[in-house]
Amino acid sequence: MQKSLVNRLLWLVLLWGGSVLALALVGGVFRLLMTAAGFKS
């Protein structure tokens, strides 16, 4: 039972971390495209 809980928690952290990284990547690409188009923040 304890191992199952740890396993679920690990998957939760892994999915959360992956989504955060994916969001950062998309944001970086979008920022690059905006810079290439001539927009400045």
Question: Which residues lie closer than 8 Å to 31 by C-beta, 6 or more apart?
Answer: 41
pLDDT tens digits, residue range 5-41? 999 999 999 999 999 999 999 999 999 999 999 887 6
Handedness of CA 28, 34, 37, 41 (dihedral sign): negative
pTM score > 0.85 for this model? no
SS3 sequence of the chain: CHHHHHHHHHHHHHHHHHHHHHHHHHHHHHHHHHHHHCCCC
